[in-house]
Chains A and B, each alone.
Chain A
Amino acid sequence: MTYFFGKKTEQLFIWLFFPLALLLPLFLEQNEFYVNKLTSVVIFAIFVMSLDYLVGRCGMITLGHSMFYGLGGYLFILIAPEFEAVNFWVYTFYICVLAAAIALVVGVIVLRTSGVYMIMITLAIAQMCFYFFSDSVEFGGNDGLFILMKPDTSLFGLAFFNLDDPLHFYYFCLLSLFNCLVFWKLVTGSRFGRIMEAVKDNPQRTTALGYNVFLFRLLSYVMASALAAYAGYLFALQYGFVNPSMMSWQTSGSALVMSILGGMGSLYGAILGTVVYEGLHYSLEHLTEHWLLLMGCLIIAMVMLFKAGIAGFLENLLERRK
C-alpha cells in the first residue's frame, strides 16, 4: 500500500496533516472553543470531500449538495425517539441508507440533465427542501430543533468514546475524515472509478463501449450524498441541534468554493481547501465586520490566478523536477 496515496505532494500532505491534527488538541487542551472549532472544520471537510468527488471526479456539478448535509441532521430527529438514547452505530447506518434512498430518487430526476441544467435543478430541489423545513411547524421552522438525547456509542457492550467530551468527538471525526479519504481513494482507484473517469471525459464514447453511463453516475451520486448526510449527522450531534440553514444554497456554495480552492478532484485538496477557507474566514471575521468583501475579492482573484487550486499549485512547486 505504499503507493496508495499516489502523488508525492499528496503523501507529504497526508503525513503532515494527520499527525498535526492528532497533536493539535494537546496544545489547546484548556480551550474547548478551539477544539469545537477544529471539529466543525473536520466535519465540513468530510462534506466537501464528497462534493469534490462528485464534481471533480464525476463531472457532475451540483449546487444542491447541502440538501443531504441538512437531511443527515433532520433524518436523525425524524427517526430517533425523542427521550431515549439510541445506538450511534445503528443510527449512522440508518441515516446513510435513508439518505442513499432519497438520493436514488432525486438522482433519477436530476441526472436526466447535465451541465448547466444540472446546476440549476439541483439548486432548485435543495431550495425546495430548504423551504419545506423552514416553513414547517413540526420541524421548528427557521429556528430548527434540538437533539435532546445524544446517542450512546457502545459497540458490543464496549463504549469507545463519549460524545459529550469534545476531545473524544474531535478524534472520532478526524478518524471519520481519514476513513472517508481512504474510501474515496479506493473508489477512484477501482475499476468503477476508472470507468467513472471515462464517463466524465467522454460520456458518448463510454456509452459506445457498452457501459450504462446513467447507472454509473447515479451510483456516484448516491454514494456522495450518503457521505454528505453522514457529515450532516456528525454536525447535528456536535452542536445538538439542526436548522434549515444547513441546507441553504450558501452552504453548497461555500463547499464548492472550498473544493475548488483546494484543487478540484484531488480529494485531499478538499481538506486543504476547507482548512484554508475556514482559517481565512475566522481570521478575517476577527479583523473586520466586512470580511465578506475581502473573501469575495479573494475568491475572484483565485479564479483568475490559480487554475488548479492550492493542490495544483503545490504539485507544480514540488514535482516540477520530474
Chain B
Amino acid sequence: MDFAIFLVQLLNGLQYGLLLFLIASGLTLVFGVMGILNLAHGSMYMIGAYLMWYFVQLTDSFVLAALLSAVIALLLGVVIEKTLINRLYRRNHLDQVLLTIGMIFVFNAMQSLLWGDDPLGVAVPGWLSGSISLTELVEYPVYRIFVALLCLLLAAGLYLVINRTRLGMLVRAGESNREMVECLGIDINRLYTIVFGAGVMLAALAGVVSAPMASIVPGMGEHVLISCFVVVVIGGMGSIKGAFVAALMVGIVDTFAAVLLPQLSSMIVYILMAVILIIKPQGLFSS
C-alpha cells in the first residue's frame, strides 16, 4: 500500500465514519434523552434515500430535493412520536423493540409499494461531480469530500446546539434527570417530540447525502442499523461524544480491513465491538 492509496482509504474511512455518526447520533440522542430504543432508525435512513430519489426525479434539483426530503422526514418523525412512541415511555424495552420491529415491517412494505424493489440511483449533481487529484495517478471525488464536510458541519452544529443553547441545556438535563426536568415545569413531551424529530431528520439526511454514492436498495436500512448499533455500543449509549469517536473508529477500521484483511472484512467491526465490551462493558464514554 503506497501513500496515495493509504490516503484514499483514510479519506474513505473518515467519510464513512462521519456518515455513520450522522445516523448514530440520532439513535443515541433518542435513547439518551427519551430512553427509547428505536430499531426503526435504519428505516429512516432508507426513507431519506428513497425520498431523495423521488424528489430529484420531480424537481431536478439536488438542493431542493434534499431540503424537501429533510422537511418530510422531520414531519414523519414528529407524527410517529405523537401517535406511537409517546405511549411507550412507561413501558419496558421489550415493547419498544416489538413496536419498532412492527414499524420496520410497515416502512419496508411502504417502500416496496411506493417505489418498487429494483435498485435505484441518484446522479451526483453537476457542481460536485469532479474529482481532486491527490497525486499524478490517484484522484478523489469531490462529492465524497463534500459529504464529509457536510457531516462535520452538522456534527459541529449538533455540538453547539447541545452545549450552547437553551434547548441543548434541556436535552442534557433530560438525559441526567427526567423527573426533575418535569418538576421544574418544563414541557417534557414537547422536548421529546423535538428530539425524536431531529433524530429522524439526521438519519434521513444521511440517507439523502449517501443516495448519489451507493445504490438505493430495499434492506439498506437494516444494514446500516446494525452498524449504528456497533457505533452506539462502542461509544456508550446516550453519549454523542462517544458516538463521534466510535463512528470514526468503525469507519476507519472497516475501510482498512476491506483492503488489508478481506477475509475478515465483514466481521471485523463486530470483533472490535466484542473486544471493547470485554474491556469496558458500558462502552468508551458512558456516563
Instruction: List chain A positions with a Cβ less than 8 A from chain B.
Output: 55, 61, 63, 109, 112-113, 115-117, 119-121, 123-125, 127-128, 131-132, 135, 249, 253, 256-257, 260, 264, 290-293, 295-300, 302-304
From B94, B106, B107, B270, contact of A124 by CB (8 A): B270
**Nearest Cβ distance between residue B3 and chain A, in whole angstroms?**
30
State the majority secondary structure of interface residues on B. helix
User: Given A292-B109, A296-B102, A296-B109, are A120 and B281 also a contact pair (CB < 8 Å)?
Assistant: no
B230 at the interface (CB under 8 A from A): yes
B188 at the interface (CB under 8 A from A): no
Interfacial chain A residues near B103, Cβ < 8 Å: 296, 300
Question: CB-defined interface of B215-236 with A at 8 Å, one 1/0 digit per residue?
Answer: 0000000100010011011000
| Whole-angstrom CA separation of A117 from B37 in the bound complex | 10
Nearest CB in chain A to that of B238: its residue = A116
Interfacial chain B residues near A260, Cβ < 8 Å: 94, 98
Determine whether the beta carbon of B273 is less than 8 Å from that of A124.
yes
| Whole-angstrom CA separation of A17 from B104 in the bound complex | 32
| Whole-angstrom CA separation of A136 from B233 in the bound complex | 27
Determine whether the beta carbon of B278 is less than 8 Å from that of A120.
no
Residue of B109, B232, B237, B278 with most partner-chain A CB within 10 A: B109
**Nearest Cβ distance between residue B121 and chain A, in whole angstroms?**
23
24 contacts between A and B (CB under 8 A): A63-B97, A116-B93, A119-B93, A120-B229, A124-B270, A124-B273, A127-B226, A128-B270, A132-B266, A249-B226, A256-B94, A290-B113, A292-B105, A292-B112, A293-B109, A296-B107, A298-B102, A299-B98, A299-B99, A302-B102, A303-B88, A303-B98, A303-B99, A303-B102
Determine whether the beta carbon of B102 is less than 8 Å from that of A300.
yes
B271 at the interface (CB under 8 A from A): yes
Determine whether the beta carbon of B274 is less than 8 Å from that of A296.
no
From A113, A123, A293, A297, contact of B281 by CB (8 A): A113
Interfacial chain B residues near A290, Cβ < 8 Å: 109, 112-113
Residue of A63, A120, A125, A304 with most partner-chain B CB within 10 A: A120
Determine whether the beta carbon of B106 is less than 8 Å from that of A293.
yes
User: Given A61-B93, A116-B37, A124-B230, are A109 and B101 also a contact pair (CB < 8 Å)?
Assistant: no
Determine whether the beta carbon of A264 is less than 8 Å from that of B94.
yes
| Whole-angstrom CA separation of A290 from B115 in the bound complex | 13
From B88, B232, B274, contact of A125 by CB (8 A): B274
Determine whether the beta carbon of B99 is less than 8 Å from that of A300.
yes
Determine whether the beta carbon of A112 is less than 8 Å from that of B278.
yes
B166 at the interface (CB under 8 A from A): no
User: Given A299-B101, A300-B102, are A117 and B109 also a contact pair (CB < 8 Å)?
Assistant: no
**Nearest Cβ distance between residue B155 and chain A, in whole angstroms?**
22
| Whole-angstrom CA separation of A295 from B95 in the bound complex | 16
Nearest CB in chain A to that of B35: its residue = A116
**Nearest Cβ distance between residue A13 and chain B, in whole angstroms?**
22
Interfacial chain B residues near A296, Cβ < 8 Å: 102-109
| Whole-angstrom CA separation of A121 from B283 in the bound complex | 11
User: Given A127-B226, A135-B266, A293-B113, are A299 and B274 also a contact pair (CB < 8 Å)?
Assistant: no
Interfacial chain B residues near A253, Cβ < 8 Å: 101
Interfacial chain A residues near B99, Cβ < 8 Å: 299-300, 303-304
